[in-house]
Amino acid sequence: MTIPIYQADAFTDRLFGGNPAAVCPLEEWLPDETMQKIAAENNLAETAFFVKTAHGFHLRWFTPELEIDLCGHATLATAHIIYTQLGYTGEEILFNTQKAGILKVSKHDDKYTLDFPSRPPIPVDLNTGLLEALGDNGKEPIAILRSRDYFLVYENEQDVLDINPNHMALAEIDTIGVIVTAPGNTVDFVSRFFAPAAGVPEDPVTGSAHCNLIPYWAEKLGKNKLHAYQVSARKGELWCELKGDRVLMSGKAVTYLKGEIYV
């Protein structure tokens, strides 16, 4: 069997920036085990698989280790490929997902806007070992919260940049990932995201994390439209908006490769 494969860098306007994702259009679903092996072979933060339906596309995402419940950058990359490589001309794309419901993506000029569920984090007690796993940079978080992932707030951007985690220790923490965030120097907020238990030591740009970040910073800053950077080595830029129980994330994408997989 031959399967098309594309790779795009999401939340960036330049190659080798943002977050790379593989995208595989399918005529019908492969066995889960096969999709997981393809994702492991690709060794990217996410590989997206989709099948066309009567009303849009059914979309699933796999890290090298497991199927994930929600992924923003791979959804943006998938929409980019559908629009630019597969000839789609509709005003928006509807993605049906396993656990995140219906996700919408629209295209305006060179930006794609993702319509995702808002997932506000709530305060929790500190997990034993979490701060130690994030490394001793001499900085304590000013707030500790959780939604799907732990969510630690720091005083300033440099505190976030200085975090140097022990990924083996972080993989033992009882969430998929850990978000660290602070007010930005030139944008409303910055963040980083670590998910070594899912095979992603540090994710370059994380849409699912912004489902937590957007409602948190919208409340803290008293405004619903926000500009954000994820300050990983590859860096990513997002234009964000809180709309009730939904969050909008806009970003750009560029195609890196297209080819075929032989299974």
So which residues are the catalytic ones?
46
Residue type, 127: N
Residue 18, by phi and psi: left (phi above 0), alpha (psi -120 to 50) or beta? left
Query: Which pairing describes strands 200-203 and 225-230: parallel, antiparallel, or unpaired?
Result: unpaired
What would the DSSP string read from start to end of 134-164?
Answer: T---S---SEEEESSSEEEE-SSHHHHHT--
Of 157, 173, 192, 182, the C-alpha closest to 124 is 173
For the CA atoms of the chain, what is the radius of gyration? 18
Cβ atoms < 10 Å from Cβ of 19: 32
Residues 254 and 14 sit within 8 Å (Cβ to Cβ): yes
Q: ∠ CA(99), CA(68), CA(149), 5° rounding?
A: 95
